[in-house]
């Protein structure tokens, strides 16, 4: 079987067959059938990737959970596009694994892998270049104790009267996204004008990120559910809610996957449209397409999106009609509902 993704193609070139020197555990990997045939374990913060490998019978765990760090030595880290997240993964691996554990690092040139030698040098880790091809590079190092703990990556800050917690890899890390700001302003105005369903009884925040929207909802509702595909976001949202002395149910979920047939009066989202460096509408399309099944009678879907994205077509096809609640030329806030 041939590897499909460029980074895995480079690994296949360097490790043409499984052996004593081949990595046994993949960290933050893409979904690739060749890789699934090679490794015994996967660590990832992406809920959908964990599920994909578990379905293949592979041990897969989130770094936010108690994972199986007793898997065979030989680990490979797929360098993420978020530079600070890559540093976090290195720091976390050095904490979790015995000193001297072999670790390979692979990634695409346009994803930041070329910066890895300087990162390793700054951390005091050795660096050996093993190979490069398919516009990717492969490096080798070994784990060792580091002076900085991985927990130092967490960031706390205050916005709009709320204390927020965030982590590298969480959407809008450390700041308020312009689209989210417009969405919150629009929700506040709609609430004051009595244009939201009911009294905000059952609310769902899809793609909760650091939890700023979930916190706004929880300040006004006793029944809030927040979901995100990213384990760092799930933990960040929980920390944010706790810091504001609020409660909500926070779940790891690929859009509605963890919710069964539950219904809500209000679904709110600033949906992602990037998958690594590519524009990808899959999650947002599913969010809109399946929303009617998760909206109670009279319920509303309110989402914000970059103005150039074709979400109006999705809303029209799913709901038959919709309205634009706000438009600042860069972002639009849409509303659609079921009767």
Query: Could you read off the pLDDT of 192-205 as tens digits, one per residue?
Result: 998 888 668 899 99
Q: Starting from the edge strand earliest in sequence, which strands make up the sheet with 264-269, in order?
A: 249-252, 223-228, 202-206, 264-269, 295-306, 331-337, 323-327
- Mean pLDDT confidence for 177-187: 97
DSSP 8-state symbol, 279: E
CA distance 88 to 151: 9
Q: Kindly tell me if the per-residue pLDDT of 180 is higher than 50.
A: yes
Name every residue whose Cβ is closer than 8 Å to that of residue 137 and which is 6 or more positions away in sequence. 10, 106, 107, 109, 113, 114, 116, 129, 131
192 vs 73, which has greater pLDDT?
A: 192
Q: Do β-strands 295-306 and 264-269 pair in parallel, antiparallel, or remain unpaired?
A: parallel
Q: Kindly tell me if the per-residue pLDDT of 279 is higher than 60.
A: no
DSSP 8-state symbol, 230: B
Phi, psi of 312 (to 5 degrees): -60, -40
Residue carrying structure tokens 């041939």: 2
- Structure confidence by residue, pLDDT tens digits, 32-56: 999 999 999 999 999 999 999 999 9
Lowest mean pLDDT among 68-72, 102-106, 239-243: 68-72
Instruction: Give pTM, 2 decimals.
Output: 0.94
Q: Kindly tell me if the per-residue pLDDT of 310 is higher than 90.
A: no
Q: Kindly tell me if the per-residue pLDDT of 68 is higher than 70.
A: no
Q: What is the pLDDT of residue 276?
A: 43
Q: Kindly tell me if the per-residue pLDDT of 280 is higher than 60.
A: no
Q: Kindly tell me if the per-residue pLDDT of 153 is higher than 60.
A: yes
Q: Kindly tell me if the per-residue pLDDT of 73 is higher than 90.
A: no
Q: What is the pLDDT of residue 200?
A: 81
Residue ranges of domains in the chain, CATH in brackets: 6-150 (3.40.50.150), 154-337 (3.40.50.150)
- Structure confidence by residue, pLDDT tens digits, 320-331: 999 999 999 999
- Structure confidence by residue, pLDDT tens digits, 86-107: 999 999 999 999 999 999 999 9
CA distance 305 to 100: 46
Question: pLDDT averaged over the chain?
Answer: 93
């Amino acid at each position: 079987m041939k590897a499909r993704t460029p980074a895995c193609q480079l690994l296949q070139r360097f490790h043409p067959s499984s052996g004593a020197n081949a990595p046994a555990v993949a960290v933050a990997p893409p979904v690739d059938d060749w890789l699934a045939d090679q490794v015994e374990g996967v660590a990832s913060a992406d809920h959908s990737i964990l599920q994909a490998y578990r379905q293949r019978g592979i041990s897969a765990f989130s770094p936010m959970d108690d994972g199986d760090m007793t898997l065979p030595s030989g680990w490979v880290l797929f360098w993420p596009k978020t530079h600070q997240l890559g540093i976090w993964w290195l720091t976390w691996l050095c904490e979790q694994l015995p000193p001297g554990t072999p670790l390979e690092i692979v990634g695409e040139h346009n994803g930041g892998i070329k910066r890895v030698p300087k990162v390793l040098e700054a951390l005091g880790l050795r660096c050996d270049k093993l190979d490069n091809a398919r516009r990717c590079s492969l490096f080798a190092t070994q784990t060792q104790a580091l002076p900085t703990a991985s927990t130092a990556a967490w960031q706390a800050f205050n916005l709009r009267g709320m204390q927020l917690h965030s982590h590298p890899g969480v959407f809008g890390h450390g700041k308020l996204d312009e689209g989210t700001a417009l969405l919150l302003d629009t929700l506040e105005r709609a609430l004051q004008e009595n244009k939201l369903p009911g009294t905000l009884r059952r609310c769902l925040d899809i793609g909760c990120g650091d939890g700023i929207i979930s916190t706004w909802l929880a300040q006004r509702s006793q029944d809030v559910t927040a979901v995100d595909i990213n384990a760092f976001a799930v933990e960040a949202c929980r920390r944010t809610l706790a810091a504001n002395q609020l409660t909500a149910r926070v779940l790891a979920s690929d859009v509605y996957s963890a919710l069964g047939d539950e219904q809500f009066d209000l679904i709110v989202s600033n949906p992602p449209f990037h998958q690594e460096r590519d524009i990808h509408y899959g999650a947002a399309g599913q969010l809109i397409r399946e929303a009617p099944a998760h909206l109670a009678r009279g319920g509303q879907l309110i989402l914000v999106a970059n103005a150039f994205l074709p979400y109006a077509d999705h809303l029209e096809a799913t709901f038959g009609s919709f309205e634009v609640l706000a438009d600042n030329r860069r972002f639009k806030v849409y509303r659609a509902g079921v009767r």
